[in-house]
């Protein structure tokens, strides 16, 4: 006689107890055991078939064809199916990647890398739950999508767990799987996506991305995300503050944005006003892009900002009279972008009367400009309140390398440092890397702006000048003497010759 699969006589005197108080004969135990496992296997198969429907559905169709006709017809259908797949991959690579490559790679990565350690990883980081009757529950992975640089595991949370609970364990999970970063994004109620970054694509220079002929103002391609995807900046209805220590790459954030906007500038649906208190060191090479521009004279800088306020008020009155509630950029009413480099100079270091005038103009632009198509984009080194008292009026902020960890929350908001925006740890050797907020992401996302050389900037400005600047001659003719270059090899040879002479 068996009790829980153990002979009754073997249990005697062992002191073992069992919750099962009844005795099951062997002829019942064996069919029960087989039935339970058959049921489990079938339900797993159905679950797999539903999860990987992209594979199971064609396989089912092929099997039906085979059964109804014959093997040759099924083989022909399979060949056609593969050919269609090839055409799809060649003609629409992006959608093929999303629909086929990423799921297939995801399945492969799950079975070869994540599955084996999933339970210990969840257990070790404290994400499992044990019920009073000692049943262990583990957050289930519902699907995996993988690109060459990131594996995205979609998780169903256990009852009572929050995305913040998983985010707090991201560092532990990163070490389990040897990823260089791990972050968590909320997908919806009870669902999160855990991203394991296996490679860092941001270590390489990002070449300028080609602007669209008709730029989408809410999705300007300006940088590369660490997931290997293009990061798109929304400028419509936003004021953008770019903060970074000296040499952090604020210039590349500014020029990448201008490059993405350039065709719209030339078409007249975006109008740029440039303010460069550094005497033109940053913005002047792209002078032709700016309909209005001021660099050296402080009075000119202030006049440009005050004129922007006057124009904005004018537009506000006109749109109100016309009954327009939602602003749409056009050639008559373009999106006006006021670009200010080194804003701190105007808000903190300039003479007092200038500071007051700049603050007055900027606060009006920042608080009222959004709705009528006026956006301010400003770059700044030091985000402290005494340098920029109205920092909070900027509705979108980008944090490049920062000199202190205390600056991170000032730029990206409370808790950003805790959630992984380690701007103070970005190496100085990797300028252009920044953290930004992305809709839906629990943590700030790491990106790298494209880098435009001086030549790229001059090319861009002469290719897409503002309609008000078409006769602008950008820079003096550069076809002069090449700059003096000293080759290390020549210096060594020179030393050798000197030594020989001696």
b or e along 9-20 (b: 16 or more beta carbons within 10 Å of the residue's beta carbon)? eeeeeeeeeeee
Would you say 88 or 451 has its CB closer to ligand ATP? Answer: 451
Of 106 and 286, the one with the shorter C-beta distance to ligand ATP is: 286
- Which residues are CB-contacts of 237 (< 8 A; sequence separation ≥ 6)? 370, 371, 375, 395
Dmax (CA) of the chain: 107
Give the three-class secondary structure for 222: strand
Cα distance between the two ends of the chain? 106
Calpha distance 101→22 (Å, rounded): 53
Binding mask 442-471 for ligand ATP (x = CB under 6 A): ------xx-x--------------------
The binder of ligand ATP chosen from 102, 125, 183, 252 (CB under 6 A): 252
Q: Annotate each residue in 363-402 with x if it binds ligand ATP (CB under 6 A) or - if it does not, as one string.
A: ------------------x---------------------
Least separation, in Å, of the C-beta of 434 and ligand ATP? Answer: 9
Q: Are 466 and 288 in contact (CB under 8 A)?
A: yes
Cβ atoms of 291 and 356 within 8 Å: the answer is no
Q: Interface mask (CB under 6 A) for ligand ATP, residues 172-211, using x and -?
A: ---------------------------------x------
Q: In terms of CB distance, is 61 or 348 closer to ligand ATP?
A: 348
Q: CA–CA separation, 26 vs 32, rounded Å?
A: 10
Q: Which is nearer to ligand ATP, 391 or 448 (CB)?
A: 448
* Residue 431 binding ligand ATP, by CB under 6 A: yes
| Type and span of the H or E element at 433 | strand 433-436
For the annotated binding site for ATP, the residues are: 244-251
Kindly write out the interface string for residues 58-97 of this chain, putting x where it contacts ligand ATP by CB under 6 A and - elsewhere: ----------------------------------------
Name the residue with the smallest CB distance to ligand ATP.
432
Q: Closest approach of Cβ 502 to ligand ATP, in Å?
A: 41
Listed residue (401, 445, 444) closest to 424, CA to CA: 401
| CA 434 – CA 261 distance, rounded (Å) | 20
Q: How many CA atoms lie within 13 A of 48 on its CB side?
A: 9
Q: Residue numbers of the site for ligand ATP (CB under 6 A)?
A: 205, 244, 246-252, 381, 431-432, 448-449, 451
């Amino acid at each position: 006689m068996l009790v829980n699969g153990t002979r009754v006589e073997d249990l005697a005197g062992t002191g073992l107890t069992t919750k099962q108080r009844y005795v099951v004969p062997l002829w019942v135990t064996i069919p029960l055991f087989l039935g339970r496992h058959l049921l489990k296997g079938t339900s797993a198969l159905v679950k797999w078939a539903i999860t990987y429907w992209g594979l199971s559905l064609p396989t089912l169709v092929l099997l039906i064809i085979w059964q109804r006709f014959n093997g040759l017809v099924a083989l022909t259908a399979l060949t056609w199916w593969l050919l269609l797949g090839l055409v799809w991959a060649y003609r629409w690579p992006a959608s093929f990647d999303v629909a086929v490559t990423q799921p297939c790679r995801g399945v492969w990565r799950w079975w070869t890398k994540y599955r084996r350690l999933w339970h210990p990883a969840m257990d070790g980081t404290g994400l499992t739950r044990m019920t009073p009757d000692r049943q262990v529950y583990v957050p289930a992975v519902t699907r995996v999508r993988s690109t060459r640089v990131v594996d995205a595991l979609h998780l169903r949370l256990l009852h009572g767990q929050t995305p913040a609970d998983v985010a707090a364990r991201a560092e532990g999970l990163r070490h389990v799987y040897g990823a260089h970063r791990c972050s968590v994004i909320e997908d919806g109620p009870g669902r999160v996506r855990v991203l394991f970054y296996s490679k860092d694509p941001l270590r390489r220079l990002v070449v300028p991305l080609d602007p669209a002929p008709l730029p989408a103002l809410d999705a300007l391609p300006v940088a590369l995300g660490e997931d290997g995807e293009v990061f798109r900046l929304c400028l419509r209805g936003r004021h953008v503050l770019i903060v970074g220590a000296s040499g952090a790459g604020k210039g590349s954030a500014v020029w990448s944005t201008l490059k993405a906007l350039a065709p719209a500038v030339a078409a007249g649906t975006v109008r740029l006003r440039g303010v460069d208190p550094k005497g033109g060191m940053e913005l002047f090479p792209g002078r032709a892009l700016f309909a209005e521009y001021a660099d050296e004279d402080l009075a000119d800088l202030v006049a440009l900002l005050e004129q922007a306020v006057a124009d904005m008020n004018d537009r506000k009155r006109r749109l109100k009279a016309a009954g327009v509630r939602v602003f749409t950029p056009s050639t008559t009413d373009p999106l006006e972008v006021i670009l200010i480099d080194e804003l701190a100079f105007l808000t903190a270091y300039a003479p007092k009367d200038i500071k007051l005038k700049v603050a007055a103009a900027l606060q009006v632009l920042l608080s009222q400009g959004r709705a009528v198509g006026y956006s301010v984009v400003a770059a700044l080194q030091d985000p402290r309140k005494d340098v920029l008292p109205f920092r909070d009026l900027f509705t979108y902020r980008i944090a490049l390398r920062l000199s202190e960890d205390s600056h991170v929350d000032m730029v990206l908001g409370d808790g950003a440092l805790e959630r992984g925006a380690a701007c103070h740890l970005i190496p100085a050797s990797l300028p252009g890397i920044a953290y930004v907020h992305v809709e839906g992401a629990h943590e700030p996302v790491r990106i790298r702006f494209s880098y435009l050389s001086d030549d790229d900037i001059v090319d861009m400005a002469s290719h897409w000048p503002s309609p008000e600047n078409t006769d602008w001659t950008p820079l003096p003719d550069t076809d002069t003497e090449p700059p003096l270059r000293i080759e290390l090899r020549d210096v060594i040879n020179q030393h050798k010759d000197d030594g020989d002479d001696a």
